[in-house]
Amino acid sequence: MLDLPRALRAGLDQRFVLRSLEHDLERVSSDGTTKFLWKRRRGRERAGERLESVLIPDGERVTYCISTQSGCPVKCTFCATGYGGFAGNLSAAEIVDQVVQMRARTGRVPTNVVYMGMGEPLLNWDAVARSLAIVTRESQLGFGARRITVSTVGVPDRIRELGREFPQVKLALSLHGARDELRDELIPLNQKHPLGEVLAAVRDHCRTTGKKVTFEYVVLPGVNDSPADAADVARLASPIPSRINLIGFNPFSAAPYAKPSVRSLLRFRGALEAGYPGTVTIRRSRGEDIQGACGQLSLANRASTGG
Spatial contact of 52 and 37, defined as CB atoms under 8 Å apart: yes
Q: Where are the alpha helices (DSSP H) in 195-286?
A: 195-209, 227-237, 262-273
Q: Distance between CA 204 and CA 88 in Å, rounded?
A: 30
Task: Give the whole-angstrom CA distance, residue 169 versus residue 165.
Answer: 9
**% helix / strand / coil in the chain, to the nearest 5?**
35, 25, 40
> Please, which residues have CB within 8 angstroms of residue 16's CB and are 6 or more apart in sequence?
none
79: amino acid identity, one letter: C
Beta bridge partners of 21: 40
Asked if 109 contacts 141 with a C-beta cutoff of 8 angstroms, the reply is no
52 assigned to active site: yes
Angle between helix 125-136 and 156-165 (nearest 10) = 20
Which listed residue (52, 94, 120, 288) is catalytic? 52
Exposed/middle/buried for residue 110 (C-beta within 10 Å: 0-12, 13-18, 19+): buried
Angle between helix axes 156-165 and 195-209 (nearest 10 degrees) is 10
Q: Nearest-CA neighbor of 295 among 95, 79, 67? A: 79
Q: What is the CA radius of gyration of the chain?
A: 20
Alpha-carbon distance of 134 to 129, in angstroms, equals: 9
Catalytic site includes residue 294: yes
Residue 220 neighbours by CB distance under 10 Å: 23
Kind plus residue range of the DSSP H or E element containing 128: helix 125-136
Residue positions annotated with a catalytic role: 52, 294
